[in-house]
Structure formats: C-alpha cells, structure tokens
Chains A and B, each alone.
Chain A
Amino acid sequence: MAPLLQSSQQWVEKYRPKKVKDVAHQDEVVKVLTNTLETSNCPHMLFYGPPGTGKTTTALAIAHQLFGPELYKSRVLELNASDDRGINVVRTKIKNFAAVAVGSAQRQGGYPCPPYKIIILDEADSMTEDAQNALRRTMETYSKVTRFFFICNYISRIIEPLASRCAKFRFKPLPEDVMITRILHICGEEGLNLDSQALSTLSSISQGDLRRAITYLQGAARLYGSSITSKDLISVSGVIPEEVVQDLLAACKSGNFDLADKEVNNVISEGYPVSQMISQLFDIIVEADDLSDEQKARVFKKLGETDKCLVDGADEYLQLLDVAGNTMRAFCNMAQDFSY
C-alpha cells in the first residue's frame, strides 16, 4: 500500500510572509513598497542580496497585494532559472506578455489594481548576456503597461544598461536577533522546543540565510521530533563537527605527515564533504592567534586553488591531502617551494 500523502508543506512556503510589511529587516524596501501600494506608482525594480533574505518573498507579496488573487494570474508573469530563458523566450514570451494592454485603474475587491502588469525575473543573474540585451528595448517600449522586477544574488552579473533602468535595493543578511525572533515564532506555531544553545547554533550555521535556517529546522523536526538539540541541527545541516576539523589541524601542526594522512583518510571515510571542510578550515585559521600573517596567506592561497580543483571535479582525497601537506609546511615553517 502506498502511504497516504499528507499535506506536507514546506515550512519555507508555509511561513513565507504574505504582506510586504511582514518582511523582516529590510526597512527601506518595505517603506518604498508601502508607498507604492498607496499611490500605485511603481518603477522597475532590481532586488539583489545573498540568498534567503526575502527577495522573492517581497516581489511575490507586492504582486499579490497589488492585484489580489483574481487578477494575479493575468497580470503577473513569473520566470525563474529553471524555465527556459534563452533569447527566444525573451523575444517571444516576455515580449508578447509585455505588449498586452490592460484596462484602466479600477479598484477591485479592495486591491489597488494599477493599470500595468508585472514580470518577475527570478535569479536574473543566470540569464545570458544576449538575453539581457534583448530585454533593454522591450523594457522601454512597454514601460507604460509593464513593470519588471529583477531578482539576483550578484548585481555585477546584470548588465549595466538594465541596472540603470531600475530602482536598486540591496537586501541585507539577517542579524542574529531578527533571525531568532522568526525562528521562535515558527517553533511556537509548530510546537517545537529549542534551547538557547540550539538557537544560537542554528543562526550561526545558517549565516544570515533565513531559508536555510528554516529548512534545517524542519529537517531536524522530522528526524528527531519536537525537542531539538544543537547536535541534531549540526547533523542535519551537514556541517562538520568542530572536533574533526580540530583533529586535522592538530595533525598538521604536529608536522607528522603519516598522522595527517590518517586524519584525511578518516574524514573521507566518514563521508564529510571536502568543500565544507575547506570552508570550515578557513573559518578557523583566519581567526587563529598563534599564526603569522604570512603563514595564513600561504594556507589560504592553497585553499583557493583547491576549491577551484574541486569544482572541476578533482578527487576529494588527493585534494584534501594536498591541502593538509601545504598547511603543515606553512605551520611548521618549512620551505614553500619544493626542493627537487
């Protein structure tokens, strides 16, 4: 018998703010957009910032608040990276949608319903440059009846002509207290118990990304039930426990290559992802007091190269071993260049 499907909604979706004013910590944007709601006047917008800070949420919320559920389908076009967004789509689908005229302003069912349509381009930084160029003229020609919302992580990947046509808003990473308030709110709704240690762990492993924090919380709640400790959160998030990283560092400091080799083998057989290991090594070494700047620089240079190699698909064991060897030479002040 196939198990029944309950409405297992993702918490990220369930607790997504429905109104612009509920969006946490992005005061400027909220202020501008509340103004928009009153005057129904809206420029093209460009939202940028790290993941999980509420960009998509804000865009969807304003669209819903402007048009209401009835008109939403006909007035808003939402495209993200998984939809095909080559130059053909820009030339046909977006252009056709943008060209359609809409009726004059009439308030319907308590929504402002301004006389324009909205096109939301999520993850716009993954659009090709050609596609972005094709948008330039479209934006201007139909600016009377269409507003564009661009959402991206890196503003440098949006071509300058597009960026200059938009009002830009930067979304800041959430500080710990804002994050904790939100998490506590969700815990209250779902009946979860988190102690203060688990809360601070959650906000430190998610690094200002609220979506990630909620996903971890839901994962932990599914696996471990209603009371969650910081250890459970770490195991769900895939962060490597502090001791493992420290063991590897200690082996590097000892200057014994075979010991380091053993630790590296251990990390690999425990199944920890090496890319994660590298970022955690970086976090620890950058704050270490007992190392000189030159030593740190030597280690980091290698970490950067290794990261590139890993992205290319190189073997994890060999790369980590190389990192360990290099770190050891830096710690023990051995020569940087090889002698033979």
Chain B
Amino acid sequence: MLWVDKYRPKNLDKVLVHEEIAENLKKLVTEQDCPHLLFYGPPGSGKKTLIMALLREMFGPSAEKVRVENKGWKVDAGTRTIEIELTTLSSTHHVELNPSDAGFQDRYIVQEIIKEMARNRPIDTKGKRGFKVLVLNEVDKLSKEAQHSLRRTMEKYSSSCRLILCCNSSSKVTEAVRSRCLNVRVNAPNNDEIVKVLEFIGKKENLQLPPGFSARVAVKSNRSLRRAILLFEACRVQQYPFTNTQAIPPMDWEEYVTEIASDIMKEQSPKRLFQVRGKFYELLVNCIPPEIVLKRLLSELLKKLDAELKHEVCHWAAYYEHRMRLGQKAIFHLEAFVAKFMSIYKGFLIATFG
C-alpha cells in the first residue's frame, strides 16, 4: 500500500492539517443539519480526504465499504433515447462519480442519478427516512447546462439527497450553485504543515530522519501534500538510511520539460523547433496535460530570463493557454508559444549584443 493511502486520516479526529475545517465539519454532523457542501482548493490539498472522513463521521464504518460499478443509464431526451455509461463508486449511503466524464451529456447524468437516488431512500434503524449523499468530482468541468439543471434539482430533492461537490477552482462554478452550498475553502498546506505530516509518517515507519530532510522534501513538493508523501516514499525506496545530501528525485516528465527549456534557450531556429515538437509529442503521448506542460515550461524559462523579458513571456504564455482551451489540438499552441518565445528571445539577444 502506498503511504499516501496508508496514512490518509480515516476520520475527522485524526486530521493533521485543516484541523479547523475538520472541527467545523464535525459540528455540522453533530447538529444533524447538513447543507449541501462545496469543497474547493488546489490539487493535493486534502479535499477528498476531508470528504471521505466526513462521510465516515456521518454514516460510520459502513461508508468505507465501497464498490466500483460500471453503470449504464437510458435517458429519454425528447425525441431520442441516449445511452450513457459511467463508472461510479458507491456504498450503501453514498454514490461518488465524475459527471464530466460523460462529456456534453453530463446534464442527463446529473438529473437521472439524483432522481434515482431520491426514489430509493435508505431507512435507518429507527424507521425514519434518511438521506443519501452524492459526491460529484470536478464540478468545475461540468457544462453550463448541467450546472443550471443542478440548481433546481438541488432544491427539489434536498430532503432525500445531499450533494457534496468538489472542484479545483470555484470561479468556474456558477454563482447560482455556489450560493446554494456551504462553501469550504481547502487551502494547500504550507511547508511547516507538510513537515509535520512527513515527520509523523517517519515516526510511524520507524525511519531515521536527518534534520532538515523533510523540509527539503516539502519545498520540492510545491505545497501539495500528496506530492510530498509520494516524493518521501520515493526517497525511501531509493536510498535508506537518508543522508543529508541525498538528492530528491524530480518527476521524470519535469526533468524532460527542463530539458526542453534549456534547448530553446540555447538555440532559436526552425530546426530546434522541430526537435522540440518531438519532445512535446512524447509528453502528450504519456498523458501529461498540456496546460501543466506549459506552466512548467514557463516556470523553467522564468528562472533563466531577465526581468524585462518576464512580463512579455508571461503574457504570451497566458495568451496561448487560453487559445489552447478554445482550440482542439494542444500541440499547435504549445509550439506556437515556443516559436513566439524564440522570436522574442532572439530579438532581445540581437538588441543587447548586436
């Protein structure tokens, strides 16, 4: 078992970071008055962990017995019937799914599954009707129509079903949905908190930690706790006992992007552009999302550039990323950014050194 899963806090009492949020959530459960919730925060900040712990707090250990199902729905949409298939993760008390996987048909999924849940409500030991919880991931990727249909469904079925929404950025969730939920901001843990968690794991695993080692891992992790724990485990596999000078291995795709960055700094020519294209394809084939590649490339370039060029390069990075979102094929825009950068940099070199 990976440490990330092994040391994921199982209930709200054992949470090491976000203790305040956990405390508040516990209060909500004890008051038995749980509204719809919207968790938002950067990746690796612990949204999922909090949600799982909350479910356990609500329903007890049976919420952990989950099964994966590949469910199909037949939806009657006016003139034709649509068949949709989606993977869900469910226990007796909750269903979790990724509605954006259904693409443009996501609105049917949302309506259909909530109606279905409202139909078969669980009955608790005292014979009263309880409610089910629907966890929706990546709501920021839901289409506008699906979000619109959510708002009414949320009100209509609120007695039988609670929604927990989870997303990275709440600006992409419509105001109407946001105002119907209790918003919970989950910030990325800062370096001290990450160090605390790493030291906790180190103690549990009986590891000897040289001073300052976990701090170095924390810095490398970019404030993502998941990343930090994965790195920590990678270091453990690579070399144990830890030494003070031990290098913390970067992700291989990151190294690859660093290589691209130094390539285009060295030479600005169509030939080099062609070589870089091959490397971009390599990254995309390995399922690294293009916007992450672009962001990483930008941060590598920024490290090496003069202050006056930074503004310009940032502007174009933002410009091409926006284009990428509107367009179809990411490779064009990645390449366009590199070409633009080459032209800017060459111009700068000529102007400075003649």
Q: Does A associate with B in a complex?
A: yes
Is there a chain B Cβ closer than 8 Å to A212's Cβ?
A: yes
- Residue from B24, B295, B302, B310 in contact with A317 in the complex, judged by beta carbons closer than 8 Å: B295
Q: C-beta contact mask, B170-208 vs A, less than 8 Å → 1, else 0?
A: 111000001110110111100000000000000000000
A288 at the interface (CB under 8 A from B): no
Query: Which parts of A308-329 form the interface with B (CB within 8 Å)?
Result: 309-310, 312-319, 321-322, 325-326, 328-329
- Please state if B315 and A322 are interface contacts (CB–CB under 8 Å): yes
Are A271 and B188 touching (Cβ within 8 A)?
Answer: yes
**B315 contact set on A, CB distance < 8 A:** 322, 325-326, 338
Complex: chain B residue closest to A256, CB-CB: B307
Instruction: A70 to B254: give the CA distance in the assembly, Å.
Output: 68
Q: Are A274 and B171 in contact (CB under 8 A)?
A: yes
Closest residue to B180 on the A side, CB-wise?
A215
Contact A2 B130 (CB under 8 A): yes
Find A82's partner among B31, B59, B153, B343 (CB 8 Å cutoff). Answer: B153
Is B67's beta carbon under 8 Å from chain A? Answer: no
> Does B314 contact A325, Cβ atoms closer than 8 Å?
yes
User: Among B32, B186, B322, which residue has its beta carbon within 8 angstroms of that of A309?
Assistant: B322
Task: Kindly state the separation between the CA atoms of A271 and B168 in the bound complex, as whole angstroms.
Answer: 8
Question: What's the Cα separation between A23 and B39 when bound, in Å?
Answer: 34
The winner among B24, B182, B309 for most chain A CB atoms within 10 A is: B182
1/0 per position for A1-19, CB-CB distance to B under 8 A? Answer: 1111110100000000000
Residue-wise interface mask of A (270-298) relative to B, using a CB-CB cutoff of 8 A (1 in contact, 0 not): 11111110000000000000000000000
B-side contacts of A6, CB under 8 Å: 32-33
- Name the one of B31, B42, B183, B351 contacting A238, with C-beta atoms under 8 angstroms: B183
In contact, B321 and A310 (Cβ under 8 angstroms): no
Shortest distance between the CB of A244 and any CB in chain B (Å): 11
Q: Which of A5, A81, A261 has most B Cβ within 10 Å?
A: A5
Give how many B residues have a beta carbon under 8 Å from the other chain's beta carbons. 73
Is A165 interfacial (CB 8 A cutoff)? no
Complexed CA–CA distance, A325 and B315 (Å): 8
CB of A268 within 8 A of CB of B171, answer: no
B311 x A269 contact (CB < 8 A):
no
> Which B residues have a C-beta under 8 Å from some C-beta of A?
24, 27-29, 31-35, 40-42, 45, 58-60, 78, 93, 122, 124-126, 128-131, 148-149, 151-153, 159, 169-172, 178-180, 182-183, 185-188, 222-223, 291, 294-295, 298, 302, 307-312, 314-315, 317-319, 321-322, 325-326, 343-345, 347-348, 351
- Given A319-B318, A340-B345, 8 more A-B residue pairs with CB atoms under 8 Å apart are A5-B130, A5-B159, A8-B35, A219-B182, A237-B183, A256-B307, A271-B188, A272-B185
20 A-B pairs in the complex with CB atoms less than 8 angstroms apart = A1-B124, A3-B29, A3-B58, A5-B129, A8-B35, A81-B152, A82-B153, A126-B148, A222-B31, A223-B24, A271-B42, A272-B185, A273-B169, A315-B321, A318-B298, A318-B314, A318-B318, A322-B317, A338-B344, A340-B312
